[in-house]
């Protein structure tokens, strides 16, 4: 399996500036000289505790005592349709009872990653766009998974981390600009992000020991597992729909309905319109 397989968009001119930055980023990634997101202490402790066969729920919830933002996100998500919905979850003990220890720890890790990689004063607007898109993809993936009769919880996580490599590549280029005292063109940065973000997602998912299904989906890895293939299609289509919901793309509903993903999921134009409208009105994006 090749480490880097995606080509930069044709629209980007492969000029001398781009070639220099491409070689620099590629070298950093191939030699492992990349500042990957550091797992925050809450996630590290949650993972360690989850391996204890005699774990008490109170021990697990206590690790979020000093991280109310992650706790609030987990309560919101576990109250959503992705995890059975119906009633609001008011405490973390109840959240664990609904989704289980393993999924709870995965959510702690996923939201910790978001907190780590999207917090920067540099390129704030672009990072905000990345985060909005990731949140929309997660919500839409959970909805599509429900329609496809597959696990909405892991689909939510796949959606949340599907483009996790983009902000990390952006941070890498920013670090290199300071190191080399040289400024990359905006179009060069955008093309570097698109070219390398999938491989970066693979590295992050491996480093954080995410479940194999999430590694497969976010890293766009080949797999014969039917569940993995379904999750890939669900997440890929959620990614496309999220671009529409966030205003980053404007395909027609008929064009979306004619896609391979929509046909696999048996979604017509009316279904897709309903999904898009529900996503816009949910207030979760």
CB 127 within 8 A of CB 120: yes
Residue 109 has pLDDT above 50, yes or no: yes
Asked if 134 and 163 touch (Cβ cutoff 8 Å), the reply is yes
Tell me: pLDDT of 244 over 80. yes
CA distances from 263 to 53, 233, 238 (A): 44, 10, 14
Predicted local distance difference test score (pLDDT) of residue 104: 86
* Prediction pTM value: 0.81
- Binning pLDDT at 50, 70 and 90, where does residue 70 land? confident
Each residue's pLDDT tens digit, 247-268: 999 999 999 999 999 999 999 9
Q: What is the pLDDT of residues 144-153, one digit of tens each?
A: 998 999 887 7
Higher local confidence (pLDDT), 252 or 33: 252
What is the model's pLDDT at position 10? 45
Q: What's the confidence (pLDDT) of residue 3? A: 42
Q: What is the pLDDT averaged over residues 47-53?
A: 79
Query: What average pLDDT does the segment 222-234 reach?
Result: 91
Q: What is the mean pLDDT of residues 84-99?
A: 84
Residues 6 or more apart in contact with residue 170 via CB below 8 angstroms? 123, 126, 127, 130, 189, 193
């Amino acid at each position: 399996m090749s480490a880097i397989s995606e080509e930069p968009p044709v629209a980007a001119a492969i000029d001398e500036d781009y070639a220099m930055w491409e070689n620099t980023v590629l070298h950093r990634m191939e030699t492992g000289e990349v500042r990957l997101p550091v797992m925050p202490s809450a996630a590290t402790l949650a993972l360690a505790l989850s391996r204890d066969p005699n774990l008490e729920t109170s021990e697990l919830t206590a690790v979020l005592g000093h991280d109310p933002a992650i706790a609030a996100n987990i309560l919101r998500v576990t109250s959503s349709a992705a995890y059975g919905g119906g009633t609001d979850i008011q405490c973390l003990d109840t959240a664990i009872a609904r989704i289980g220890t393993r999924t709870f720890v995965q959510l702690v890790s996923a939201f910790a990653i978001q907190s780590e990689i999207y917090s920067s004063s540099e390129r704030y607007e672009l990072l905000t766009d990345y985060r909005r898109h990731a949140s929309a993809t997660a919500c839409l993936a959970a909805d599509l998974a429900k329609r496809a009769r597959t696990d909405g919880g892991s689909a939510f996580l796949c959606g949340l981390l599907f483009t996790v490599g983009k902000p990390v590549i952006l941070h890498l280029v920013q670090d290199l600009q300071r190191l080399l005292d040289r400024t990359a063109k905006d179009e060069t940065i955008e093309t570097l992000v698109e070219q390398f973000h999938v491989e970066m997602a693979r590295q992050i998912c491996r480093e954080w020991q995410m479940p194999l299904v999430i590694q497969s989906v976010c890293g766009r890895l080949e797999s014969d597992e039917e569940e993995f293939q379904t999750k890939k299609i669900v997440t890929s289509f959620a990614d496309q729909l999220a671009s529409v919901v966030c205003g980053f793309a404007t395909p027609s509903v008929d064009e979306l309905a004619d896609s391979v993903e929509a046909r696999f999921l048996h979604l017509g134009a009316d279904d897709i319109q309903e999904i898009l409208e529900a996503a816009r009105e949910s207030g979760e994006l």
